[in-house]
Amino acid sequence: MNDATSSTLDTNASVTTVPVHAQRRVSYEFDTKATRADLAIPYVVIVNGKVRGPDKPRRLSRENRKIAVTVEAGSKVALYLNSDVHPNHRRNPVYEVTVNDKNVSVKITEKTGNDDPDPPTLKPVPATLSLSPDTEFYTAKLTGNVWMTISHKYTEAEANALLPANTDPVVRKAVCSIYRGLGVGKLDIPLCVENGVLHVSFINQGNPQANISRCSLLNDVLPRTHPWAFMALFDMARHTQLSQLHITSCWRPSLGSIAHRAGLGIDIDVVATSNKRININRVGLTVPNTSDNPNITTHEKELLAACTNARLQEKLHRDKETREAAKANCDSWENEVEKNEPQLIRSIRRKLQALEVVEQILDPWYIELNTKDSKSQKTNAQSSDNERIHKDHLHITIKDAKIYD
């Protein structure tokens, strides 16, 4: 019996043969090693124009880089990826394939550079003896241009609707102006104090332009960034009376975790009030010798070196004495960091922590992976990749569960 027919018993218990639809397996396999092998891309699968339930974004995991579905022969299958998984954003299905009399296997490989304007089309792989005869094989690319396609570009009306009802009208007006389209990479926002003004600078960061054939900071990058990211920063800046704020990275296609690619990450590297300017930078913390960075004292470097060495001893010996010595050394360094952290940075972090939409705060002083859990923030020793990346800016991740839960 082939899979187009099936035997069943009718009410009179005589055997008849009726057709049922043949089932085919479709799989998409992602290779994102070009930028990050374990990139957690959000996805939903569309079969014949409808999202396959349950309608909740899933995401690729470190272990499983495949999306697989079983469908009826003749079906059309495609994907919504990245911020397009949000129910309100589903306009650009990608990697569509029509399933015929064979299973389908699609291998999608990420590619960097801005010289490949290919749309997300599938290219058939010619049949060879080594390939399974009951499967059609395709390849496709995941370029910066495809990232731009699968990253939702918010309109001013969408931004306005997304901002909570209790958003400060000054913040609302400033956020909406970004999605209306700025003429230059600067924005002035009135402060709460009389005549006070916050000057916001949007700095071109290079990654979008290096990986997309045509990409503008004002028309492509800023409006692909979630409105809550700007809302959080402007709210914080007005609360802490900032007069200057440098925003260095918003949405970007081909670098780092999914946060920036999904428009949920935003970075700042300079803040100033009317009497103090701070470069958010602790570069040189782990380099021996005298510190010339105003945010690091030579004494602190010595304490960190002692802490690092004591932790190493703890790993080697694993006894009570070295464990206690490690704790004492590292407590001394952490106390020194806490004592010297600029008051303005602490106020900024406290304000951001209190905002409902802010999930993570990663900066040169502290790493907080979840502002809403009971775990305390970790002092940044610049020992892990994540700590080292955040030695020269403050990053926040916005939580929008309809994109990334």
Binding residues for Zn ion, rule: CB under 5 A, are 265, 267, 395
In angstroms, what is the minimal distance from the CB of 227 to Zn ion?
17
Side chain identity, residue 363:
D
**For the chain, percent helix, then strand, then coil, each to nearest 5?**
30, 25, 45
108 vs 178 by CB, closer to Zn ion: 178
Angle between helix axes 227-239 and 343-354 (nearest 10 degrees) is 130
In the complex, the smallest distance separating the C-beta of residue 366 from Zn ion, rounded to whole angstroms, is 15
Nearer to Zn ion, 152 or 395 (CB): 395
The residue of the chain with the least Cβ separation from Zn ion equals 395
Cα distance from N-terminal residue to C-terminal residue, the chain:
45
Nearer Cβ to Zn ion (175/361): 361
> CA triplet 66, 106, 95: central angle to 5 degrees?
100
User: How far apart (Å, rounded) are the C-alpha atoms in residues 400 and 228?
Assistant: 9
Give DSSP secondary structure letters for 272-318: E-SS-EEE---TTTTS-S----TT--HHHHHHHHHHHHHHHHHHHH-
Question: Residue 286 is which amino acid?
Answer: T
Q: Is 363 left (phi over 0), alpha (psi -120 to 50) or beta?
A: beta
Nearer of residues 135 and 386 to Zn ion, judged by Cβ: 386
Q: Identify which of residues 306 and 389 has a Cβ nearer to Zn ion in the complex.
A: 389
Residue 386 CB, nearest approach to Zn ion (Å): 10
Q: Compare residues 79 and 361 and give the one whose CB is closer to Zn ion.
A: 361
Q: 247 with 200: CB under 8 angstroms?
A: yes
Q: Cβ of residue 60: shortest distance to Zn ion, in angstroms? A: 20
Backbone angles phi, psi at 395, to 5 degrees: -115, 140
DSSP string, 197-265: EEEEEEPP-SHHHHHSSS--IIIIIGGGS-HHHHHHHHHHHHHTT-SEEEEEE-S-SSSSSHHHHTT-E
For the CB of residue 391, give the shortest distance to Zn ion in the complex, in Å.
12
Q: Measured between alpha carbons, how far is 352 from 242 in angstroms, rounded to an integer?
A: 14
| Shortest distance in whole angstroms from residue 361 CB to Zn ion | 11
Are 234 and 174 contacting, i.e. CB atoms less than 8 angstroms apart?
Answer: yes
**Residue 75 vs 248, nearer CB to Zn ion:** 248
Q: Which is nearer to Zn ion, 94 or 280 (CB)?
A: 280
Question: Least distance to Zn ion from the beta carbon of 329, Å?
Answer: 31
Query: What is the enclosing helix (H) or strand (E) of 30?
Result: strand 23-31
Identity of the residue, 267 or 359, whose beta carbon is nearer to Zn ion in the bound complex = 267
Closer by beta carbon to Zn ion, 57 or else 265: 265
Nearest distance from C-beta of residue 66 to Zn ion, angstroms: 28
**Which amino acid, residue 87?**
P
Report the nearest approach of Zn ion to the CB of residue 63 (Å).
25
Nearest distance from residue 257's CB to Zn ion, in Å? 8
